[in-house]
Structure 1
Amino acid sequence: MVGRNGGGIGSASADGYTQWKSMVPVLYDWLANHNMVWPSLSCRWGPQLEQATHKNHQRLYLSEQTDGTVPNTLIIANCEVVKPRVAAAEEIAQFKEGARSPFVKKWKTIIHPGEILLFAQVVSDL
């Protein structure tokens, strides 16, 4: 198949990605790009741990799907989420695809026997 600019499908998706990346400061108040070793099939925000003036500390749940040579994992991370209209547009636009965000810190890793496709919250009345 041929894309709009005469290139292939890969070219069209690369153009779309480039356009999205240039619009990141306009679309988002904040962006944390966190490259992982394995792809994540699901993610979910957890509870807010702490509120500060310019950022909140919040729990994040991620799954990692491996190739089977190592077990799949559930990652529990603590994130520093910058509040709206705090981060400079120049900082938001300069993320690197291969980098790990200093705002995302792995807290626990739990080995899981299969794929993790969905996170559900269990409410406790303790």
Structure 2
Amino acid sequence: IILAGDQQLAASTLHFPAQSKSAMDGGSSFQAFTAAAAMEMEEYLNWKKNAPVLYDLVVSHPLEWPSLTVQWLPSGSSASARSHRLVLGTHASDDSPNHLMLVDAVLPLPPRLAAAAAAEGRAVPAPSVSIGRSASHQGEVNRARCMPQRPYTVATKTCVDEVHVYHLGEDGDKGGADAVLRGHGAEGYGLAWSAMKEGFLLSGSYDKKICLWDLKAGNGAPVLDAQQVFEVM
């Protein structure tokens, strides 16, 4: 299953950065940018044309900004509903706000079940993708991971040296993180919850450190220092 954003590549292809007059008058950097953009668009159009042959299903939804991370939440609904939730995070430009997003995705029924539902006069859900909930995020979202025991508790790696934790179970949009975890000296991408111990979170960053936090021991503190820090040589 491929969840694709049609306008992600289109937006990045058609958005030209600010250029000086000399560059706009035929500068090599501007020409190189437009050539790369044209090639990127051509590759995207080729992929889109061949998608029906490559995949059983493609659900396409435009996103304002690309996402560097995605994770499917454990499904708590019945299999017949085909309703799922995903976590995404924006990678916006310097002047635009970023968000952690909870996405609702409805997948089509298999043909046999769809035919049976239609024969019984039951409504068959149409495939759809929508942003169900969002939370303001400090900088780009490098990675987002859901706690296995509490899927709506989401940790994120930021573009700074902090790890943020959000509780997305409440209705409505959130104004920011519920907890800030400290211990790193640089950004990174490594992030994983323990499947055995609830609240245990590991993080790896470019500072060559692995940090461990125990959120249950933090008793809901808004700022939590790493319980252990491992140096990686």
Q: Same fold (TM over 0.5)?
A: yes
* Aligned 1:22-33 pairs, distance under 5 A: 22-33=49-60
Partners of 1:48 and 1:58 within 8 A in 2: yes
Please give the secondary structure, in 2, of the residue aligned with 1:17.
helix
Question: What CA distance in whole angstroms lies between the structure 1 residues aligned with 2:94 and 2:40?
Answer: 29
Matched residue, 1:114 = 139
| Structure 2 CA distance for partners of 1:68 and 1:14, relative to 1, 3 Å | closer
**Structure 1 length as normaliser, TM-score?**
0.63
Matched residue, 1:57 = 83
Shift of 1:16: 3.5
Shift of 1:117: 1.0
Matched residue, 1:4 = none
Please give the secondary structure, in 1, of the residue aligned with 2:47.
helix
5+ residue gaps, structure 1, are 1-7, 87-101
Partners of 1:29 and 1:85 within 8 A in 2: no
| Structure 2 CA distance for partners of 1:66 and 1:12, relative to 1, 3 Å | closer
| Structure 2 CA distance for partners of 1:38 and 1:85, relative to 1, 3 Å | same
Matched residue, 2:219 = none
Larger RCO, structure (CA 8 Å, separation 6 or more): 1
Partners of 1:64 and 1:73 within 8 A in 2: yes
Identical positions, percent: 27
Count of equivalent residues: 102
Partners of 2:89 and 2:144 within 8 A in 1: no
Please give the secondary structure, in 1, of the residue aligned with 2:130.
strand
What code does the residue aligned with 1:76 have?
Answer: L
Matched residue, 1:93 = none
**Structure 2 length as normaliser, TM-score?**
0.37
**Superposition CA RMSD, Å:** 2.7
5+ residue gaps, structure 2, are 1-34, 113-126, 150-197, 199-233
